[in-house]
Amino acid sequence: MSARNDILNRLGQRLGADQLAARRARAEAALAAHIGQPQGPRPTPGADLLAEFRRRAESLASTVEVVSTWADAPAALARYLAEKDLPRQGVAWPSLGHLDWAGAGLEIRLGAARGDDRLGITSCYCAIAETGTLMLLGESDTHAVTSLLPETHVALVPASLLLWGMEEGWAKLRAERGTPPRGVNFVSGPSRTGDIEQTLVLGAHGPYRVHLILLQDC
Amino acid sequence: MEVKSLQFKARAAERLADPALQSKLKGAKQLFVGGRARVVAEFDQVGQAGDFETLRGVGADIRDTVLDDLDAWLEIFEARATAGGATVLWARDGREAQKLIVDIAKRHGVKKVIKSKSMLSEEAGLNEGLEAAGVQSVETDLGEYILQLAKEPPSHILAPAIHKNKEEVDELFARYHGRPVTPAGQIDIPALTREARVALREHFLSADMGISGGNFLIAETGSVALVTNEGNGRMVTTLPKVHVAVVGIEKLIPSLEDLSALLRLLPRSATGQTISNYVSLLTGPRAEAAEEGPEHMYFVLMDNGRSSLVGSDFQEMLRCIRCGACMNHCPVYQSIGGHAYGWVYPGPMGSVLTPLYNGLEKAPDLPQAATLCGQCSVVCPVKIPLPELLRKLREKQMEGGLRSWQEKWSLKAWGFFAARPRLYALATGIGARVLKVMGGDEGRIEKLPGLAEWSRGRDFPAPQGKTFRELYAARKDLH
Ligand code: SF4
């Protein structure tokens, strides 16, 4: 017998071989009841999503700057890089190609990050205030590697994309896309490890720093 | 991985007598226990009092919903994962899982595999299988990488290298990265981390296949969810052209909302974080137009003893979401560390799982490795009654007359212990004696480990060093 049938039969025997139909019906019904239905208590949403998101993100070692619109983002980024003494070259999602990076003195390539890119610029699919988290979909003009390989990850977050919890993110995804794309990534601050003597070190395999530029009028 | 739980007592005794290990375990305990307490209190504050407790109940219900009808749920998962373009394979045991994965590697001409942390792949001895087939397999979780260099098994499911200090790590890196050992006093942990990052980055970019575990399988979407802090899980599942997720059949949950609920429990219980840095939901291979992501995605769903727990007295154990809270809060684990348990899973959950998956005769001492303080079941995010399950295992053991085996082992070990009378004294009742040590001269314990809040102001009489077996025998006499 194939391993598959063997395992399923073994389970069936333990659960009642003659009740498989009932189990299938119960599972289908439970699945339908769980989809789109938040399970269990959730922290109460704060009144000000932006403030809440900012507080949470900062507590996870992200840095945050609030500006007004998309057009302000390149200059804000240039200021951040200068302040941290970081290189002005980087790679951005093609969906951010409309911004005037060169005008702010930055050298930005559009496309997917490579192993040696030092700066990766993304936006997000939405942002979760409950935990200060970015929700990112890896698609053809929103590459997953850009938030992962470079040492510095900068995300431009329009305030209109702020949601309270992960559940609201799922609802948006179902409504807009139906099924999820290959990779949905939730990013909450720079990568970290405590594997040597439980000493927290930022910048394990992913970015050393995550800087969020919030666009409050977008 | 070979089961070495037979030597539990001897190994435990050695560890109790190892002051360096004792101090590492103490540090880790403070970090994990304190961290969990803080975020749980905060969760109740932001929501309503008692919310976390309610959420634990919801977590248990979610897991039970699937486990009660597991075969039907697996069918749903298989259908949806397949519809998403993934290939779903099944393995009765670790050996079969190993073979399936080696075959996948061969089919795609894979030379190098990168792995994110997966305890299940330890169960299956996957690295050994791949190496034997001529495929290089690189562990990429920093702790697992250190252990792979040291050729040692993990000693904690979240912090696998918890038993190593920075000097030992520096020595390993010096040997394998071809550099001199750093002079004492100059070893810098961020520098060591960076060194590993550079070494592993090369592997990330050159590997042809990524193997991940899975924290959850989602029936709704046919996806696997991965939770990591380092970002290696994302690399492993994004960069190579093949992704294999090897996951236990019990890890299934219904919907994305269930994932969100369990994600409020897992990092809080595990590391005292409100959320882990990276949570990835991976569904099928990359879309045709996409420039990144694997071209092929496989699920290897492994049984390895799990199905025999379904519908049994021990089914509750399958709810486990591998958070590690039970070991972080366990006075026995805190005193002896993970290696003494002799298999993949240490602490209370390991004491239940190891004999259930491998046979009680291979791990006769583990069900006794408890002080009956009950902390593990208080903190378990899915309300697994661990002390109760340990009790049931001991009952099974009495019925099966497995003690006689133990007497035989004791004779064999006699030579070892005859030369070490202090170890012998320690080895004959680890759990009870751990508590006794904590009780000190007064014979009272002012604070139960990890339960400062609850035990403040209450004193517990410390057990007087009797083992469960002695107590059980004494109690029987009364009847
Ligand atoms: S038994 Fe409970 S506390 Fe222990 S690892 Fe599993 S889920 Fe966590």
Residue B441 lies in a domain: yes
Distance from residue B195's CA to the centre of ligand 1 (Å)? 33
Across the beta sheet with A152-158, the strand order is A63-67, A209-215, A152-158, A119-122, A89-92, A107-110
Q: How many structural domains compose chain B?
A: 2
Query: What's the pLDDT at B289?
Result: 84
Query: What's the pLDDT at B401?
Result: 67
Domain at B68, CATH number: 3.40.50.10420
Q: What is the pLDDT of residues A77-97, one digit of tens each?
A: 999 999 999 999 999 999 999
Query: What's the pLDDT at B397?
Result: 82
**Position A134 confidence tier, pLDDT thresholds 50, 70, 90:** very high
Examine the fold and report which residue of B239, B272, B307 is the final residue of a domain before the chain moves on: B307
Query: What's the pLDDT at B472?
Result: 42
Residues B301 and B410 in one domain: no
Provide, as residue numbers in chain B, all residues whose Cβ is less than 8 Å from the Cβ of A140: 287, 289-291
**Position A127 confidence tier, pLDDT thresholds 50, 70, 90:** very high
Q: What is the pLDDT of residues B399-427, one digit of tens each?
A: 776 555 454 444 444 444 444 444 444 54
Residues B71 and B194 in one domain: yes
Domain encompassing residue B125: 51-307
Query: What's the pLDDT at B402?
Result: 55
Q: Does B241 touch chain A (CB under 8 A)?
A: no
Low-confidence ranges of chain B (pLDDT < 70): 1, 401-479
**Kind of pairing between the strands at A192-193 and A201-202:** antiparallel
Cα separation, B300 vs B282, in Å, equals: 14
Q: Which residue has the higher pLDDT, A112 or B1?
A: A112
Main-chain phi, psi angles of A126, to 5 degrees:
-165, 175
**Separation of first and last alpha carbons in chain A:** 59
Examine the fold and report which residue of B242, B276, B307 is the final residue of a domain before the chain moves on: B307
Q: Does B199 touch chain A (CB under 8 A)?
A: no
Q: Does B60 touch chain A (CB under 8 A)?
A: no
Residue B219 lies in a domain: yes
Query: What's the pLDDT at B456?
Result: 36
Q: What is the token pair recorded at B161?
A: 């290298």
Minimum CA distance residue for ligand 1 atom 2: B380
Examine the fold and report which residue of B289, B307, B325 is the final residue of a domain before the chain moves on: B307
Can you give the pTM of this predicted structure? 0.87
Query: What's the pLDDT at B316?
Result: 97
Cα separation, B252 vs A60, in Å, equals: 29
Residue B377 lies in a domain: no
Main-chain phi, psi angles of A112, to 5 degrees:
-90, 140
Cα separation, B370 vs B432, in Å, equals: 8
Query: What's the pLDDT at B4?
Result: 77
Nearest to B467 by CA among B343, B269, B332: B332
Contact A202, A209 (CB under 8 A): yes
Query: What's the pLDDT at B10?
Result: 72
Least confident of A126-135, A188-197, B123-132, B469-478: B469-478
Residue B137 lies in a domain: yes
CATH, domain range A48-215: 3.40.50.10420
Q: Which residue has the higher pLDDT, A180 or B339?
A: A180
Query: What's the pLDDT at B370?
Result: 75
Least confident of A36-45, A48-57, B108-117, B328-337: B328-337
Specify the amino acid at residue B10. Answer: A
Residues B105 and B243 in one domain: yes
| Contact check, Cβ <8 Å, B234/A148 | yes
Query: What's the pLDDT at B25?
Result: 73
Residue B19 lies in a domain: no
Distance from residue B87's CA to the centre of ligand 1 (Å)? 30
Vertex B219: Cα angle to B215 and B223 (nearest 5): 55
Query: What's the pLDDT at B345?
Result: 84
Q: How far is CA B436 from its chain centroid?
A: 27
Query: What's the pLDDT at B132?
Result: 93
